[in-house]
């Protein structure tokens, strides 16, 4: 269980996160929805240790405190982030990216079977092991990013806008792959603009607005929710009757 309690984050005067409460059970897939600037990325960055939340915030994984730990320790504790823009090592090869994905001590046991799994998930990466990551297409780079994160043997994998900048057919493939990742028992926390496809693989979802959580429900309920439909799916429920 990943538990986040009263998480607040400040960038100078700006309150990016305001007392956010959120939880995700092991193996659960949770989607966080919200407009640009609602604080979704800040939330993931706080969990990953890339930014420091204000005092009083609490982030815990299976009861162990993550709050205030540096990013490299968070990985060691079992939470991996695929950041916005992917954050792969462009000047290194696919193989080197995956090698570094398993840098954490927790990842050393079973490294080769995990690598085999990643190459099975993304056969394209297997064909292009020796290729420099920055010479690949956007979809392939996203594969490298997800594969690298999986190599760290995470309990929870967080993805920040994985579909950003990808062609629709690639997005469909990507989420089909994430469904398979989910079946391995890894908890997924996904921040997405693409509401429909992300809710389709999710158990639950949260709605964010101006740094706060303003709603929480099961994925099916959110897909049917008129407010969600109006805000994110571009459907006007008043006139569609």
Task: Point out which residues bind other proteins (CB under 8 A).
Answer: 48-50, 70-73, 75-76, 80-81, 83, 87-92, 96, 99-105, 107, 132, 148-149, 152
- Three-state DSSP class for 77? helix
Q: Measured from the CB of residue 101, what is the shortest distance to other proteins in angstroms?
A: 6
Q: Which is nearer to other proteins, 77 or 195 (CB)?
A: 77
Of residues 99 and 231, the one with the C-beta less far from other proteins: 99
Please name the residue ranges forming H helices in the chain.
40-48, 71-77, 94-101, 111-121, 123-127, 138-150, 168-183, 195-201, 219-224, 226-232
Nearer to other proteins, 88 or 181 (CB): 88
Question: Taking the complex as a whole, how short is the minimal distance between the CB of residue 80 and other proteins, in angstroms?
Answer: 7
Cβ at position 87, least distance to other proteins in Å = 4
Q: What is the closest distance, in whole angstroms, from the C-beta atom of residue 228 to other proteins in the complex? A: 30
The closest of 120, 125, 117 to 142, measured between CA atoms, is 125
Quick one: 92 or 126, whose CB is closer to other proteins?
A: 92
Euclidean distance between CA atoms 28 and 31, whole angstroms: 10
Short-list 230, 175, 191, CA closest to 20: 191
Nearer to other proteins, 102 or 121 (CB): 102
Please report how close the Cβ of residue 192 comes to other proteins at its closest, in angstroms.
19
Name the nearest CA neighbour of 187 among 33, 22, 21, 24.
Answer: 24
Measure Cα distances from 209 to 34, 36, 164 in Å: 6, 9, 20
């Amino acid at each position: 269980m990943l538990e986040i309690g009263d998480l607040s984050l400040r960038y100078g005067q700006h309150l990016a996160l305001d007392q956010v409460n959120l939880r995700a059970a092991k193996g659960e897939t949770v989607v966080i929805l919200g407009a640009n600037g609602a604080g979704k990325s800040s939330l993931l960055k706080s969990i990953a240790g890339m930014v420091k939340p204000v005092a009083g915030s609490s982030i815990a994984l299976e009861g162990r405190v993550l709050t205030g730990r540096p990013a490299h320790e968070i990985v060691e504790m079992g939470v991996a982030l695929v950041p916005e823009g992917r954050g792969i090592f462009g000047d290194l090869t696919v193989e080197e990216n995956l090698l570094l994905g398993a840098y954490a001590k927790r990842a050393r046991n079973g490294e080769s079977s995990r690598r085999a799994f990643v190459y099975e998930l993304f056969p394209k990466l297997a064909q292009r092991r020796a290729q420099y990551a920055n010479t690949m297409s956007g979809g392939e780079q996203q594969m490298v990013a997800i594969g690298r994160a999986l190599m760290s043997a995470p309990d929870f994998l967080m993805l920040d806008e994985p579909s950003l900048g990808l062609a629709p057919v690639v997005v469909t493939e990507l989420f089909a792959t994430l469904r398979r990742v989910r079946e391995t028992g890894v908890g997924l926390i996904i921040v997405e603009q693409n509401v429909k496809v992300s809710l389709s693989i999710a158990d639950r979802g949260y709605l964010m607005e101006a740094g706060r959580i303003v709603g929480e429900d099961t994925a099916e309920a959110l897909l049917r929710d008129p407010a969600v439909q109006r805000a994110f799916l571009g459907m006007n429920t008043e006139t569609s009757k």
